[in-house]
A and B are shown apart, each in its own frame.
Chain A
Amino acid sequence: EDQVTQSPEALRLQEGESSSLNCSYTVSGLRGLFWYRQDPGKGPEFLFTLYSAGEEKEKERLKATLTKKESFLHITAPKPEDSATYLCAVRIQGAQKLVFGQGTRLTINP
């Protein structure tokens, strides 16, 4: 069964304190791994897509990386506005749907 597991469930950091979120996956054939950000009361907002091991994508203070078993979302010198739930999802071969992990709730204290 295709499975996506995110850790930790929640993470609290001080402003400027860099860290990483983990997304491990077990799928029959990966067509893409997606990172989303979700703010309270809003729908998930697309951040990145990664397709193959070794690939990296960057956007402002965020960098996503991919291996054959997991993906990391690195947050460098975060600010309070980076506080959100970060969701990881996989698209498997032969399907268009995304299978989501449970998310990591990130809080950045000023």
Chain B
Amino acid sequence: DARVTQTPRHKVTEMGQEVTMRCQPILGHNTVFWYRQTMMQGLELLAYFRNRAPLDDSGMPKDRFSAEMPDATLATLKIQPSEPRDSAVYFCASGFRSRDSPLHFGNGTRLTVT
């Protein structure tokens, strides 16, 4: 079974440090999404890409978050500088651009900022 791969699985860092999370979408999928999950807010969309172009990043704090797709096999989410309120599980998901296509999720990066 093809899966979305995310690294690292866990990250503990100090406030103010840069954090980079990586995602390898399922081969052939042309849409990639970044979601954040917390107990209070549930799953929130941060950004998404189609054919590597950013379509919507309105869910991201622009001053500290950035998302890119350097190539079709890699998506990155960076936080600089990180803050304790960024502590959450960050999920990457990929799919095809069609109404029939569900999103397939990775197992997430659990980020703790102290």
A interface residues with partner B (beta carbon < 8 Å) = 31-32, 34, 36, 41-46, 49, 51, 87, 89, 91, 95-103
Contact = CB atoms under 8 A, between A and B. Distances in A.
B43 A100 contact: yes
Interface string B1-27: 000100000000000000000000000
Nearest to B100: A49
Interface in B57-114: 91, 93, 95, 97, 99-100, 102-108
B55 interface: yes
Interface of B: 4, 31, 33, 35, 42-43, 45, 48, 50, 55-56, 91, 93, 95, 97, 99-100, 102-108
A96 B29 CA distance: 13
Contacts of A43: 4, 91, 93, 105-108
A62 to B, nearest CB: 15
Nearest to A31: B99
Closest 5 CB pairs of A and B: A43-B105, A100-B43, A46-B102, A102-B42, A31-B99
A105 B50 CA distance: 32
Given A49-B100, A91-B99, A100 B42 contact: yes
B50 to A, nearest CB: 7
A32 B45 contact: no
Nearest to B50: A96
Contacts of A87: 43
Contact of A96 (B31, B104, B106, B107): B31
